Amino acid sequence: MYPRIESILVKIGMTKRELAAALGLDYEVLLLKLERKDYFTLDEAIALKRITGASDSIEELFTFLA
């Protein structure tokens, strides 16, 4: 999991299922991407930032370190 994304989802009260729907992804596909078993496309990363209202850069959102 990407710790910053997890933190933002908790902060805004959004579930992973809701995020998957907002991104137009199947829930299982989102889980694979969050577990780093698949890759987010640049368009998905930009959409994730927009949907969550994150002030972090895309690089910060996808950093593995807490």
Q: Is the model's pTM score more than 0.85?
A: yes
The pLDDT value given to residue 36? 93
pLDDT, mean of residues 30-56: 97
CATH number at residue 41: 1.10.260
User: Helices 16-23 and 42-52 meet at what angle, rounded to 10?
Assistant: 120
The total number of structural domains in the chain stands at 1
What span, in angstroms and rounded, lies between the C-alpha atoms of 38 and 14? Answer: 21
Structure tokens at 32: 């694979």
Q: Please give the helix or strand (H or E) that residue 34 lies within, else none.
A: helix 27-34
- Answer whether residue 62 is part of any domain: no
Please calculate the CA angle 47-65-32 and round it to the nearest 5 degrees: 50
Domain that holds residue 52: 3-57
